[in-house]
Amino acid sequence: MFNSNLHLHVNLINHKKLEVTPTRDGFGRGLVEAGKRDNTIVALTADLAESTRVEWFKNEFPDRFIEVGVAEQNLVTVASGMASLGKIPFVTSYATFSPGRNWEQIRTTTAINNQPVKIIGCHAGLTVGPDGATHQALEDIAIMRVLPNMTVIVPCDSNQAYLATLALASYNHPAYLRLGRSGVPTITSPETEFTIGKSQMIYEHPHAQVTIIACGGMVHTALVSALELETMGIYVDVINMHTIKPIDSQAIINAVKKTGAIVTAEEHQIIGGLGSSVSEVVSSKYPAPIEFIGVRDTFGQSGTPEQLMNHYGLTQQSIIDAVERVITRK
């Protein structure tokens, strides 16, 4: 059953009526609200103000906005300097460029110095669609979570992106917020609590046989899968692991002790992403079988978001198949 304590969206049971909104829109709204609350917040972008929704902040606070042009390495270095002088910078670009192009500057100027720069990677994952492999960041979670001092967040919908942005505005450490281009169903509400590092049990069954742990837009896919599995007589729990680092280790341990099997689902390479993070906890604390849904050591390609998700197996049916497989391994 759905977790009533989370104040999820009123249309969640009838998921076909859910509003579909990009997570980048939630970030845009959140940054404007954060800017109203704190005048030390500044925003910088590398020629992508409209696409990353930082233009909304620019329109409200033009004197606190900096356009660096197509210069992603400069983007982060300038932001780190501003952070050292007391500002709270949010820097935006496509995830394939930031952190993809400027990872060394993030490591050297932000992470090593523990500066509270917030790196916003938009248009991440396969659902960038026709832009193709060069613009489909599928490795960004991996390269960011490996950095000491870095926090990594992947919100499940627009409302959660809004709340995550507000949380990051008062978070005195470097952080990476991963956002998408395409709309995803809104499963949370403005009243759904968000805490960095604390996952959410979205769907729970007293006799669950498997726990599905998902992040980003795959959380909704996991929920739809859970409802379909229930009609088949298979019961699962669903966890929204919105914070990849620091990961909620205790929630993972509790889950595997209860169900004895895990399926992870992410719009990212299975190497180095959510699945790897979960398996690191499980293998060291409470070994159990795991199945992974994600991109399998390959690059993306051009296509519609739906075509790409189907081609790479990031679907409801793929999750159902993985649940059935992992049960046989218990």
Active centre residues (catalytic): 72
Q: Measured over all CA atoms, what is the biggest interatomic distance in the chain, rounded to whole angstroms?
A: 60
Spatial neighbors of 171 by CB under 8 A, at least 6 apart, are: 116, 118, 151, 196
CB under 8 A, 24+ apart: contacts of 246-253: 246/151, 246/197, 247/197, 247/277, 247/278, 247/281, 248/197, 248/198, 248/199, 249/281, 249/285, 251/198, 251/199, 251/201, 252/213, 252/278, 252/281, 252/282, 252/285, 253/281, 253/285, 253/286
Helix (H, G, I), strand (E, B) or coil at 56: helix
Closest CA relative to residue 206, chosen from 161, 236, 185:
236
Q: What is the DSSP string of 239-284?
A: EE--EEES--HHHHHHHHHHHS-EEEEEEEESSSSHHHHHHHHHHH
